[in-house]
Structure 1
């Protein structure tokens, strides 16, 4: 009778079943590499020495570090706050990051947006792409998806939930406007993804964590966006870089706690002033609104709203224009050729940029999705007219 091979065990002469020498060697190797500061995952050794000061923390440890390496965080907005968040989560070893941003790096960003340098500004790189390149240099363990887009109702679920990294374990707010924040809150509540909110203007900043099913949502605390012109903006009040660094670090800390499964996640709204040293926290555990249309009524009006066709960009003399409809695509080579007669034209892998000779000081940047940023213009009606003339309706 022929014998049957046994893959991981061998029969001894007495009939006892013993582990094979090969399996024993594998276990011995696993023990050695773990003792030396490695994780053995799917047959690949991961060096944990870069996280040594983090894994020694009681709230993280080796198991928590593994969870971080397997985790996915989505960061919406890669400006002042988003750069701080992305930098710290990358260094912490959050294995997958999705960064969504619609804007380009410019010299005025460099005072406070820590992932960018002069070369990025000179090249007018998209912020999401410049951040992806920089993060890859910081930590090769981390895979970053750069989404060069404006997050809006028609694409929010696809961009945040259905990208190559899959569903995130946390959504982090690096935005500069309440319209997008209310959109993120709808997305968070509808799909039960924790949302770490923050805002910074001048020297003051605030942060809160909203966990669906645990306490209030953003709309329970701020029932509607503030009226236009009623609040200071980064353009009118400026931004102190240390204020952004402080609150962005607090956002990153809460994200790490959420991703490792800690029970120490913050339940309060923190407000600080980096100039005066003021710091206070307001407990939100009893702030849930029983009549909230979002987390109680399950009405997601911001997620279901029509897309805006134009919007002025905070802190810039510029307007963003979106084409009608969803899924619009632009052939950049064709557009670059068509614009040759209007002024100086440049083409990058991400966009076509043209100075408009008939409109001194006005520059048109058009992306593959049809979105355009028109600099040198503040009036949305004029921006739409320029878009229709040079790009098409």
Structure 2
């Protein structure tokens, strides 16, 4: 076991001192899909002290092309991603403390999990959550690493509160395409390239080598052989509502939080109710309507040309529609 990290400690910027620091740090990854699962694996193999993973979804066959921690059995069983990931990650390195949460990322759910976190890695698939993260992590002064990919393209940037431009500043300066993996597809190497940038920056922060951090926004298109780094220092705005002189953190307010959300490109609506749902009670009622499938974490069924998945935290995914009204109708017919 003493040789486990020998190749990593031979790398002078890390060394024994850096390895000891890595083993004492706590990283939180928001999202356990294409970006989240390989970032998690890299950190676990590197000997991170504690890893917390948050994800609201479960494994589907379309994930297997690029989400490396999952298997066909995970998809057949509709296993929540964080549960499948923890099983695999523990088999890789049993000495790492791994904490998982099957939940939607909201300011209320995230903030208690950030008390002793040293770094957050963005592995989400939508900007609603990213803007919430941007506000919350600026407020708590926790560094985080942005990452995004679609088609053969990707980008990444390391955000240091009080020092660098925040995500709001960046997106006011550099427009982001509205394309999604479901509309234009994605190749796995694009995912791996973003992860390589994110996980390398993470290691720099974990060993406290901030002088080595990449200070520019990186963007690339692997298929068309484009690679660019952009100096964004001037993007930082004094009047920014997140990182400016008088921040308002508007994305942390109740009114700004999505309760019903069309999941971009997935033909799915997520409903997050303001009350608890007990899956056992729900199963007893719904099995009278249509066949149901359950595991320890969720319940699913087919109804009115939709596939509905209920989670323990009360959320429901209504697959087969982008209409919030139809999703609400289906949900209330089943739940009341």
TM-score range, shorter chain: over 0.9
- SS state of the match for residue 49, structure 1? coil
The number of aligned residues is 333
Residues of 2 paired with 1:372 and 1:237: CA distance?
26
Q: Note if 1:142 corresponds to 2:96.
A: yes
8 Å contact 1:342–1:355 — kept in the other structure? no
Aligned mate of 1:279, from 209, 221, 227: 227
Superposition pairs of residues 241-390 of structure 1, within 5 angstroms:
241-262=188-209, 263-296=211-244, 297-306=246-255, 307-324=257-274, 328-356=275-303, 359-360=304-305, 362-390=306-334
Larger RCO, structure (CA 8 Å, separation 6 or more): 2
User: In the alignment, does 2:44 pair up with 1:86?
Assistant: no
TM-score by length of 1: 0.81
Question: Who is 1:206 aligned against?
Answer: 155
Query: Secondary structure of the equivalent of 2:5?
Result: helix
Answer with 1 or 2: which has the greater Rg: 1
Give the Cα separation in 2 of the matches to 1:215 and 1:318.
35
Change (3 A) 1:291 1:217: same
Q: Deviations over 1:260-287 (max 9, x none)?
A: 1002111110011121221111123343
Matches within 5 A, 1:144-163: 144-158=98-112, 160-161=113-114
- Residues 225 and 381 (structure 1 numbering): CA distance in 2 closer, same or farther, change over 3 Å? farther
Q: Distance in 2 between matches of 1:286 and 1:293?
A: 16
How far 1:224 moved relative to its partner? 9.2
- Judging changes above 3 Å, is the alpha-carbon distance between structure 1 residues 226 and 285 closer, same or farther for their aligned structure 2 residues? closer
CA distance, structure 1, for counterparts of residue 88 and residue 335 of structure 2: 32
Residue of structure 2 equivalent to 1:73? 27
Q: Distance in 1 between matches of 2:208 and 2:227?
A: 27
Between the aligned partners of 2:198 and 2:265, the Cα distance in structure 1 is 23
**Structure 1: where are the runs of 5+ without partners?**
1-46
Question: Does structure 2 retain, via aligned residues, the 8 Å contact 1:178–1:226?
Answer: no
Does 1:217 find its partner at 2:217? no
CA contact (8 A) 2:107 2:136 kept: no
Task: Name the SS for the 1:80 alignment partner.
Answer: coil
Offset of residue 127 of structure 1: 0.9
Q: Given that residues 55 and 104 in structure 2 are in contact (C-alpha distance below 8 angstroms), is that contact kept between their aligned partners in structure 1?
A: yes
Deviations 1:243-272 (A, max 9, x none): 011111210110111011002111110011
State the 1:347 CA deviation.
2.1
Matched, 1:179 2:161: no
Asked if structure 2 preserves the Cα contact closer than 8 Å seen for 1:178 and 1:225, the reply is no
Aligned pair in 2 of structure 1 residues 283, 225: CA closer, same or farther (>3 Å)?
closer
Q: Which structure has more helix as a fraction of its residues?
A: 2
